[in-house]
Amino acid sequence: MRLSFILLFFFIAFGCIAQSKIDVIHYKFELELSDQSDTIYGKAEIKVKLLQPVSFFPLDLVLQNSKGKGMKVDNISGPDVSNFENYSDSLRIVLGTTRIPGDTITFTVNYHGIPNDGLVISKNKYGHRTFFADNWPDRAHNWIPCIDDPADKASFEFIVTAPGHYQVISNGIQTEETNLPGNKKLTHWAEEIPLPTKVMVIGVAEFAVLHEGFVNCVPVSSWVFPENKSEGFKDYARAKDILAFLSDYIGPYPYKKLANVQSKTIFGGMENASAIFYFENSVTGKDLDESLLAHEIVHQWFGDMATEKSFAHLWLSEGFATYLTHIYMESKYGTDSLNRIMQNDREEIIDFVKKSDKPVIDSISPFMQLLNVNNYQKGGWVLHMLRRQLGDSVFHRIIRTYYDAYKGRNADTKDLQTIAENVSGKNLNTFFRQWLYTPGIPQMNITWKYNTKEKNIAITINQLQKKGVFRFPLDIFIQEKLSTPKLMTWMVSKNSETFTFPVKSKPVKVKVDPYTSLLFEGTVTEIK
């Protein structure tokens, strides 16, 4: 067992170190699909730039297992490649000579096999055969050779040959569609913007396609199964309004199209750049998925274009998509609607932190476990509190500035903090540390007492959580019977502290956090 552990450690360390030595510049994937079997035939032409002197480097690819699932490499060719070696989920590309930083190398991998994951080959709910890529988080290398890491972005193209009755959707723009002998069809899609593998996809099925129109010259389309095309076109039609709002709020939409696609993704929605895949039962004809549409469209900016450096910072994708969806809903349905949404999210967070001691910034593995309340609802709440504490206009400038600085690039939480501090002119170290790097939330016991002689009320706040003291502004609404209501804000920073406030008579109402501005769990009790 010790020897196995050492070997495992060596291969993990080897992969991490070697991968940092290269940067993929471009992928060209040529794929052949059929109805006779689930075997795919692939040819990947890959251009990489060397970041350090190397004589070899790894490439992620799940190889064929004893059950016949996975990819079998037929050959690897290129003027700089002398050999390759197989491991269970990677290839080692061996160069003829050691190359220097800045050199580029282009090589071709010919392979075939039945994908174990990543490319889902199945039947849709109407019994028709479909092929849908579903790469998140690191499942792309089940069917394409790549560097399967969000930090490595590359431009790419898919050239798909499939039976002629299928249509093919992918990222980017379609550059060719040609009928071939034998009732086959070749479809070529190309994306010039560098993207992570998690959002590089193809969808191959029988589709009904509706071109919804344009938003700022960007074509918007719906791709749904023919059997529910009326319902699908109705449900996905809202994408135009959502895209228009977000383009105005965040910045220009970065891609040359937006296609909303009914698919076989295992997720509710998958934010593949310019070709969003939604689960097949998202189509109902009842307009029930407006927030789902908005969430995935937000990802086009945050997650796809501005991408987290690692999955430990996934909240920069999911928290942003969660909260900017709420902002869209607020713009359409009002602030009361936003407050109800935030209250619901807060309740989910309260339940979650009772079972988890993990902070938002977390290197948890496997990555699928990161699809949790921390990265979605709590990440959204962090942005909400940042907005409440800095004000709408400053918050808006932070969002736009952060996106503009990191579009086409990768960022982590420290990068966002730097942007937020520069825009606001404030030191936000405590804010980011306690809400993102510290587990849990404030748990408070709040009591108030009316003092007849002093004509004031004393409000005592006790923080009960075990993971240290939080510092935050707390709004308290005080309503007297014959006086104008007053909103007081105190900065809470200790385990226990008491604030006093003069009043003319005993308040008829004392309410903590009346405008839903703070993430906390607590009770408010009057002491007689």
**pLDDT exceeds cutoff 50 at 268:** yes
Read off the pLDDT band of 20 (50, 70, 90): low
**pLDDT exceeds cutoff 70 at 19:** no
433 shares a domain with 453: no
421 shares a domain with 491: no
Helix (H) or strand (E) holding 202: strand 202-205
Q: Is omega for the bond preceding 137 within 30 degrees of 0, making it cis?
A: yes
CATH for 503 = 2.60.40.1840
361 shares a domain with 466: no
Q: What angle do CA 505, 524, 455 make, to 5 degrees?
A: 20
Read off the pLDDT band of 365 (50, 70, 90): confident
**pLDDT exceeds cutoff 50 at 7:** no
403 shares a domain with 459: no
CATH for 314 = 1.10.390.10
d(CA 109, CA 87): 15
Residue 243 forms part of a structural domain: no
d(CA 459, CA 510): 10
d(CA 246, CA 520): 29
**pLDDT exceeds cutoff 70 at 12:** no
Q: Is 457 within 8 Å of 501 (Cβ atoms)? A: yes
Residue 258 forms part of a structural domain: no
499 shares a domain with 419: no
Continuous H helices in 334-378: 335-353
489 shares a domain with 356: no
**pLDDT exceeds cutoff 90 at 144:** yes
Share of the chain above pLDDT 70, in %: 96
457 shares a domain with 420: no
Residue 319 forms part of a structural domain: yes
**pLDDT exceeds cutoff 60 at 17:** no
- The predicted-structure confidence for 281-322, as pLDDT tens digits, reads as follows 999 998 778 999 999 999 999 999 999 999 999 999 999 999
Q: Report CA Rg, the chain.
A: 27
Cut 0.75: pTM above it: yes
Domain that holds residue 85: 17-205
Q: Is omega for the bond preceding 150 within 30 degrees of 0, making it cis?
A: no
- Local structure of 38: helix, strand or coil: coil
Roughly what angle, to the nearest 10 degrees, separates helices 315-333 and 379-390?
A: 60
- Residue 375's pLDDT is 97
Last residue of a domain, one of 437, 470, 500: 437
**pLDDT exceeds cutoff 80 at 15:** no
Residue 122 forms part of a structural domain: yes
186 shares a domain with 41: yes
Residue 353 forms part of a structural domain: yes
Residue 481 forms part of a structural domain: yes
84 shares a domain with 148: yes
CATH for 43 = 2.60.40.1730
Average pLDDT (74-97) is 92
Last residue of a domain, one of 400, 417, 437: 437
- The predicted-structure confidence for 429-464, as pLDDT tens digits, reads as follows 999 999 999 999 999 999 999 999 899 999 999 999
- Residue 86's pLDDT is 87
121 shares a domain with 33: yes
Phi, psi torsion values for 117, nearest 5 degrees = -170, -175
Residue 162 forms part of a structural domain: yes
d(CA 333, CA 327): 10
Last residue of a domain, one of 155, 174, 205: 205
Burial 225-255 (b: 16+ CB within 10 A, else e): bebbbebbbbbbbbbbebbebbbebbbebbb
Q: Please give the single-letter amino acid code of residue 436.
A: L
Number of structural domains the chain divides into: 3
d(CA 415, CA 405): 10
172 shares a domain with 35: yes
Q: Whose structure tokens read 């009770």?
A: 523
60 shares a domain with 85: yes
The DSSP line for 369-395 is GGSSTIIIIIHHHHHHHHHHHH-HHHH
Residue 376 forms part of a structural domain: yes
Read off the pLDDT band of 9 (50, 70, 90): very low
- Local structure of 168: helix, strand or coil: strand
Least Cα distance to 279 among 306, 261, 302, 297 occurs for: 261
Helix (H) or strand (E) holding 205: strand 202-205
Q: Whose structure tokens read 């898919």?
A: 158
Q: In what order do the strands lie in the sheet with 129-133?
A: 119-123, 129-133, 202-205, 167-170
